[in-house]
Amino acid sequence: YSTVHFKTDGGIMITGSHNPPEYNGIKTVCGTGTLFGPAIQDVYKLIQTNDFESGEGSVKKVDAVTPYVDEIAAQFQLERKVKVVLDAGNGTAGPVVHRVLEKLNVDATELFFEMDGNFPNHHPDPTVLENLHSLQAAVRKQKADLGIAFDGDGDRLGAVDEQGNVVYGDMLLLIFGREVLTRKPGSTFIGEVKCSQVMYDKLKELGGRPIMYKTGHSLIKAKMKEEHAELAGEMSGHMFFA
């Protein structure tokens, strides 16, 4: 988001994603695209051969969260107050989501919104069912409309319905796709190899153009540009809105 908003030439995100605290890594952005496959190997070769550019630069701190929160919240006008439980798993999503919720017509219950890289409550991976137990229990207890769980660096989500049943990634994609088709008939959608045939068949039945593609967020982003897709998603909970 920051690289697009601030019109930078590139970006690096330091993240362990949903991995245990002893692991860390970086996600790289070049222009507005991501690096993957052979391009990452090219960077590795530059490092090995010490083939670096030299020059002068400057550093300044900017607030990327405020414009992000404003932009996200502005997209939703909820006609009735929605009762929702959210589990941030002590990852990075909590403080940002809290600010989004303040601008929406929601009655929100926040679970584990304090950032803590030791993840004292459960591991922040919403695709592992045991990590959703707290969310499911809270949704049932609060009689909420739904529950949402985030992963460690906030780019994946898991969801449960009002009864606490898990709604998997391919079904989320189908729900979102159904809404998109009411506004943009004939839209192209990209799923990956682990998504169910039900999802592909239903999107086609509704007039969409679903494509099965490789797993991996960098690969899917590139394919979205190539196909001019409106929406893509993975079973892992990555969702991509064009």
166-167 sheet: strands from edge to edge: 106-111, 82-87, 146-150, 157-160, 166-167
- The CA-CA-CA angle for residues 84, 217, 132, to 5°, reads 30
**Of 236, 69, 215, 85, nearest to 146 (Cα)?**
85
**Of 72, 126, 132, nearest to 98 (Cα)?**
72
Q: 93, exposed or middle or buried, with CB in 10 Å at 0-12, 13-18, 19+? A: buried
Which tokens hold the place of 35? 């690096």
92, 152 in Cβ contact below 8 A? yes
- Sorted by sequence, the CB contacts under 8 Å of residue 208 that are 6+ apart come out as 177, 180, 181, 186, 187, 188, 189
Which tokens hold the place of 96? 């940002």
Q: Let me know if 196 is a catalytic residue.
A: no
165, 144 in Cβ contact below 8 A? no
What is the chain's alpha carbon radius of gyration, rounded to the nearest angstrom?
19
Point out the catalytic residue in the list 2, 17, 58, 236: 17
* Residues annotated catalytic, as ranges: 17
